[in-house]
Structure 1
Amino acid sequence: MAKLQRRLCLILFATIGCFLSGLQVRAMTHIVGGSYGWRFPSANISFYQDWARPRNFTAGDKLVFLYTTGMHNVLEVKKEDYDDCTQKNVIKTYTNGPTIFELTKPGDHFFICGLSNQFCNGGQKLSIRVMNGDTSSDGTTGGLFGIITKSSSADQLIHSRLGMVLGLLLPLIIIIIMLLI
């Protein structure tokens, strides 16, 4: 009886694990500037754009701006303010470091340090493109076994069904193996 209960528990955990492995982990936390943090990039005016370039940002991700309160801040601004390092159309101001900003909607997002025009003009600004939570910026979507390139809605439907079938087959295979043990 105890052996049967152990098998059933293992089967249950294996089934849950297989279903969870098919889920896509979406939310990422990005430390803006990596270990350098959010401060004046004295040596490289394009530092923050260089940092952002290889990354994919999706709705649900979080940006963490690491800075000392009073020495820097984070302003979410419109593109014009980003380009000109002005503060005419500030969307939101954050003054207490560190600032955690959740990316809630797709589109272009612009951030600058607003304590001094010198900081923004010197490169302490960040521009990112946020994609929907179901697609990365390179047009791919995660799958059960890695990355599947999306080229059409028909392909997406096929991949979705394939993922569902694999999600159901894996627990079945594990159950059969467990029963044979």
Structure 2
Amino acid sequence: MEFIVEKIGMSRTISVPSVPVTLLKLIDTKVCEVLENGKALVAYSNGKKINKPVAGQQKKYNLSKEFNRFATVKTSNTEAGDVDTSALAEGVKVKATFKTKGRGFTGVMKRWNFAGGPGGHGSRFHRRVGSIGNCEWPGRVQPGKKMPGQYGFETVTVSNEVVSFDPASGVLVLKGSVSGPNGALGRVRIAK
């Protein structure tokens, strides 16, 4: 079973010893259509404007205006309606999938923790890559060479344990951390 969640932030338990936890908010989702492969088409809200294709889908599935995004998730529902959250009990192992924070195009010192060169005057090697090639053989840059480039905004999945779940407010508390900034949308699925 999968759930669409929004990351609220991190906190800790007040027990001794305290445990670092991540707070996630379950997004209100409606099952529009149950597919034959154990998955379902669900509608949820992410606060963006509604375009014509989404308006057509809302009309087709009799949805209200707040549901403006659609996704396919694994679910235990057998018919359209609210998503069943009874499986999120205390102690259940889950896998949380989020996008990491995007840091844009970065150099090798930030991206790969290179040391860099001397900082003093007269040096022409401060925050640069340095030599990247080989000598006469093979005469090319090897694949996988650590170079400047896009850093972050990668999909990361981590295993966590459910500390608590409040069905009334929809707040899910996971032991440990998950990737991504506060407010990021992600998925939580129950591990086997």
Coarse TM-score class (shorter-chain normalised)? under 0.3
TM-score, length-scaled by structure 1: 0.23
TM-score, length-scaled by structure 2: 0.22
Greater relative contact order (Cα < 8 A, sep 6+) = 2
More helix by share: 1
More strand by share: 2
